[in-house]
Amino acid sequence: MVPKTTAIDNEERSRGKSDVVERERALREALEALRGSHEELKATQLQLIQAAKLESIGRLAAGVAHEVKNPLAIILAGAEYLAQAIPSPTPDIDETLADMHRAVQRANSVIGGLLDFSAATDLTPSSEDLNVLVEQAIRLVKHATACNHVAMRTELEPDLPLLMLDRTKIEQIFVNLFLNAIDAMQQGGQLTVRTYRKQLREVGAEIGYRQTDRFQIGQTVVMAEVDDTGTGIDEKDLPRLFDPFFTTKAPKKGTGLGLAISKTIIALHGGLISLSNRLEGGARVTLTFRSTRNPGEDHGNEREKTNSRG
Amino acid sequence: METREKRRILVVDDEPSFTRLLKVNLERQGSYQIRTENNGAHALQAALEFRPDLIFLDVMMPGKDGGEVAAEIAKHELLNKIPIVFLTAAVSKKEVGIEGRVIAGRAFLAKPVNMAEVEKCIENHAA
């Protein structure tokens, strides 16, 4: 027979043990929650840094634009004066004056890019069919694709839900993405643009179950992908691609603002943009747009479908 | 021989090099008489003396800016009919187009401009 005290000891010990297990489980959960909050905090901090960076560049842009465009106006007026004042210019003089004109236009277009960047906050959204905007952007780069021996392929899903989009700005983004893709295919290649609707099922950057996630699991979104068959992106450059003034293009070929502006505009639409290398070679830009129906409605529709089946 | 009177244009801008070049370039064409003013505070007086057919007015100037000058001119009974075009680096060509555009009742032309754009603008707006 087991002595009474030992039985109590055993009971207490086993209760103590289960307490420990319980506390350990609670601790592990707390640690997990803490780790989650820490990750969230880190992500928010990064977003804040990025937002502050963008805001200061936006503020800078207007000031720089004014300070640079005034001297440009003087150079342009000066070049025009010389063109008239020199009685019989040699070909060298003509070429120099033409170079000055081109330089002014180039500097002005960089400034234009900066202003676009700071003006990216003014959206005029209306109900749009993404495919129509994509097709319009394709028309605008037709010449560039032909000149660079790039074949354009489209895989556009018909009857996509209408999206609230700023037509001009979204077209501008697609034109910019197409031109980037064409630039990446110096020897020619194939540019594929694809649209489709999708229900989000996997957790990803800014896609999840948390309130702070831009997209929620279960939500129906409209996707657009722009694939090229170019050289792809150097892995070390991937994290910096959306930074203002970062460019992998040759000098004079890019301002380094295209993708930064695109990201700002897409973010203002509540969407996502990402860039990755394709396994088959070349790069892929992925755009995620929110459908005008909210996530709650999506779940509701899913339930309705299930109920009608049941 | 028909002698058409030259159009009188007042250019108000705090950049002396710009106003000087605009003056020589436009006067070379033969159909314009230009007066320049580099101080916004003196613009009203210059307009009263010169009585231009059109005023090109910079926006961002130290002291009295273009907005204040325009308001002063608009209030003056002898000057309030003179069209004003803001020739400024504060707007972009994308916003106002190559030949300029009227925004909220004000005409704008974006710097840098070439002479063809300036002349077209004068034809469109001058009294």
- What is the CATH number for B15? 3.40.50.2300
- CATH classification of the domain holding A212: 3.30.565.10
Domain boundary among A82, A101, A119: A119
Average pLDDT over residues B46-58: 96
A135 and A269 together in one domain = yes
* Distance between A72 CA and the closest CA of chain B, angstroms: 6
- Shared domain for A70 and A86, answered yes or no, is yes
- Cβ contact, residue pair A81, B21, below 8 Å: yes
Best of A64, A67, A69 to disrupt the B interface (most B CBs within 10 Å) is A69
Number of compact structural domains in chain A: 2
Q: A294 and A148: one domain?
A: yes
Instruction: Based on the fold, state whether residues A144 and A25 are members of the same structural domain.
Output: no
SS3 B89: coil
How far is residue A16 CA from its own chain's centroid? 54
Tell me the chain B residues in contact with residue A108 when contact means C-beta distances shorter than 8 Å: 93, 112
Shortest CB distance from B89 goes to which of A69, A84, A116? A69
At residue B9, the 3 state secondary structure works out as strand
Joined tokens for residue B49: 């003396």
Contact assessment for residue B43 and residue B59, using Cβ atoms and an 8 Å cutoff: no
pLDDT at position A219 over 80: yes
| Enclosing domain of residue A17 | 1-119
- Please indicate, yes or no, if residue B1 is contained in any of the structural domains: no
Q: Measure the CA–CA gap between A300 and A209, rounded to whole angstroms.
A: 17
Query: Cα distance from A153 to chain B (closest Cα, Å)?
Result: 31
Write out the residue range of the structural domain in which residue B119 sits.
Answer: 7-125
Task: Give tens-digit pLDDT for A50-91.
Answer: 666 666 666 677 777 778 899 999 999 999 999 988 988 899
To the nearest 10 degrees (0 to 180), the angle between helices A167-183 and A130-140 is 50
**Distance, CA of A115 to CA of A121 (rounded, Å):** 11
Total structural domains within chain B:
1
Whether B112 and A75 lie within 8 Å, measured CB to CB: yes
Quickly tell me which residue has 């009974």 as its tokens. B77
Residue A153 sits in the same domain as residue A293: yes
- C-alpha–C-alpha distance, residues B32 and B55, integer Å: 13
A220 and A204 in a single domain? The answer is yes
- pLDDT tens digit sequence for B53-71: 999 999 888 888 898 999 9
**Residue B41 — very low, low, confident or very high, per pLDDT cuts 50/70/90?**
very high
B68: tokens are 């204040």
Residue A238 — pLDDT band, cuts 50, 70, 90?
Answer: confident
Distance from CA of A34 to the nearest CA of B (A): 49
Q: Tell the burial category of B3 from Cβ atoms under 10 Å away from its Cβ (0-12, 13-18, 19+).
A: exposed
Do both A257 and A136 map to the same domain? yes
With H, G, I as helix, E, B as strand and everything else as coil, classify residue A97: helix
Task: Write down the mean pLDDT value for chain B.
Answer: 87
How many C-beta atoms lie closer than 10 Å to residue A159's C-beta? 7
Amino acid, res. B88: T
Q: Rounded to an integer, what distance in angstroms lies between the CA atom of residue B68 and that of residue B73?
A: 9
CB atoms within 10 A of CB A6: 10
Residue A161 belongs to a domain = yes
